[in-house]
Amino acid sequence: MSRIKTTHYTRGISVTEWRNPQGEYHREPGEGPAWVMVSADGTKMQEAYYTHGLWHREDGPAVSVFWPDGTPLIRRWYQHGKLHRIHGPAYEMFNEEGTLIYTENWVNGVETPTSSTKPAVTDVAH
């Protein structure tokens, strides 16, 4: 059974969190994020998926930060608390226009190069 708590902060920002009986951030897969921050107008600012206190999501980014218009700023893929993504970068950053400007590739918590001839970190803006 999850405990749900919403805390309201200044400027109308609120944070809703789901915790398991052990006090860890937790929601079952498919139920949605266990931690969500929204602005006064209801726009999602950040969200994080947790399983038993660890960032974890198998069908999308576990951590997302959004620009004020709701488009992605940062997306990070985690499994069992480790940055991890097989088919694409595990860390992505976008500019305000929605253009991907930075990526990092990680598998099981280890940063990996995109190929044998490229560095592990890719700055796609240059």
pLDDT in the model for residue 122: 61
Q: What is the pLDDT of residue 117?
A: 40
Residue 50 Ramachandran class (φ > 0 left, ψ -120 to 50 alpha, else beta): beta
**Domain architecture of the chain: domains with CATH:** 3-122 (2.20.110)
pLDDT digits (tens, 9 = 90+) for 54-109: 999 999 999 999 999 999 999 999 999 999 999 999 999 999 999 999 999 999 99
Q: Encode 72-84: b = buried (16+ Cβ within 10 Å), e = exposed.
A: ebbbbbbbeebbb
pLDDT digits 0-9 by tens, 99-113:
999 999 999 999 998
Name the one residue in this structure whose structure tokens are 């991890």. Answer: 84
**Encoded tokens for 125:** 């803006």
Between CA 87 and CA 67 the distance in angstroms is 25
3-class DSSP assignment, residue 10: helix
15-66 pLDDT tens trace: 999 999 999 999 998 899 999 999 999 999 999 999 999 999 999 999 999 9
Q: What integer is the mean pLDDT of 110-124?
A: 64
Q: Is 88 left (phi over 0), alpha (psi -120 to 50) or beta?
A: left
Residue with tokens 């399983």, as numbered in its chain: 51
pLDDT of residue 116: 39
